[in-house]
Amino acid sequence: EEQLVESGGGLVKPGGSLRLSCAGSGFIFSNAWMNWVRQAPGKGLEWVGRIKSKPDGGTTEYAVPVKGRFTILRDDSKRMVYLQINSLKIEDTGVYHCSTGIFLDNWGQGTLVTVSA
Amino acid sequence: QSVLTQPPSASGTPGQRVTISCSGSFSNIGSNTVNWYQQIPGTAPKLLIHSNNQRPSGVPDRFSGSKSGTSASLAISGLQSEDEADYYCAAWDDSLNGYVFGTGTKVTVL
């Protein structure tokens, strides 16, 4: 069974940094495109970015609001994908989910990031 | 802000048919396929429909999707209490070079 488990969330001050992790199991991780999607409290879904599989180039794409501050990395040997978040803003507060594939087929339960002074 | 527009709410009684619209533009729905997600409050989203009208394994055939031009729709027939959830459309946007979600529709079963 395909499973995704996020970790690394927490309370951070504005301007701080955080690295979120997502561990994948039950599928061929190295072939999977991996996405990050966030959801602010009481709000809708917002795609953050994705990293393609290495066979497909391993390139990244980001949503406009996070470009330059967010970086997605992957370590296929550890079956992990990471979201490095710098210069955190209050509006970055929310639950961050990782998700697989072009269609965002499967999702983890998410990890909560709270940005507050 | 979302570039795909959905009605904020929809409702129906058990057994009824409910339809949710999703309006976009040429750069997203007009040029790419549409996916739909269901999110029961407090849980992770679940892929419901991909490629406009394809159901992943395990999704009941009560759910169907369609697309025409720069709009798409999700239909739920034979509405059931467990269908009470938030529903989001999504598509790749060529102008933004990113994946965009709709504003979301809360479905209530009366």
- Render pLDDT for B23-54 as a digit per residue (tens, 0 to 9): 999 999 999 999 999 999 999 999 999 999 99
Residue window 19-58, chain B: list those with CB within 8 Å of chain A: 35, 37, 39, 43-47, 50-51, 56
Short-list A24, A16, A19, A27, CA closest to A96: A19
Residue window 21-80, chain A: list those with CB within 8 Å of chain B: 35, 37, 44-47, 49-50, 61-64
Q: What is the pLDDT of residues B49-91, one digit of tens each?
A: 999 999 999 999 999 999 999 999 999 999 999 999 999 999 9
Per CB-CB distance under 8 Å, the chain A contacts of B56 are 105
Best A5, A104, A111 residue to mutate vs chain B (most B CBs within 10 Å) = A104
Q: Judge whether residue B1 has pLDDT over 70.
A: no
Instruction: Report the pLDDT averaged over residues A56-67.
Output: 96
Distance (Å, rounded) from C-alpha B63 to C-alpha B77? 7
What burial letters (b/e) apply to A15-39, b meaning 16+ CB within 10 Å? eeebebbbbbeebebeebbbbbbbb
Site of tokens 């959801």: A39
Q: What percent of chain A has pLDDT over 90?
A: 100
- Total Cβ atoms within 10 A of residue A93: 17
Q: What is the pLDDT of residues A70-105, one digit of tens each?
A: 999 999 999 999 999 999 999 999 999 999 999 999
Distance set, CA A110 to CA A4, A5, B21, B69, B96 (Å): 9, 7, 27, 34, 25
CA-CA-CA-CA torsion for B81, A2, B57, B105, nearest 10 degrees? Answer: 40
What is the chain A residue with the closest CA to B90?
A103
pLDDT band at B2 (very low <50, low <70, confident <90, very high): confident
Separation in Å, CA of A53 to nearest CA in chain B: 17
Distance (Å, rounded) from C-alpha A39 to C-alpha A53? 24
Q: Which residues contact B96 (CB under 8 A, 6 or more apart)?
A: A63, A64, B3, B27
Distance (Å, rounded) from C-alpha B108 to C-alpha A64? 33
Q: Is A91 on the interface with B (CB under 8 A)?
A: no
Nearest to A108 among B44, B96, B103 (CB): B44
- Averaged pLDDT of chain A: 97
Residue A24: per-residue pLDDT: 98
Residue B44: per-residue pLDDT: 97
- The number of residues making up chain A comes to 117
What is the chain B residue with the closest CA to A108?
B44
Report strand pairing: B71-76 vs A70-75: unpaired
More confident residue, B103 or B3: B103
Short-list B9, B17, B12, B3, CA closest to B63: B17
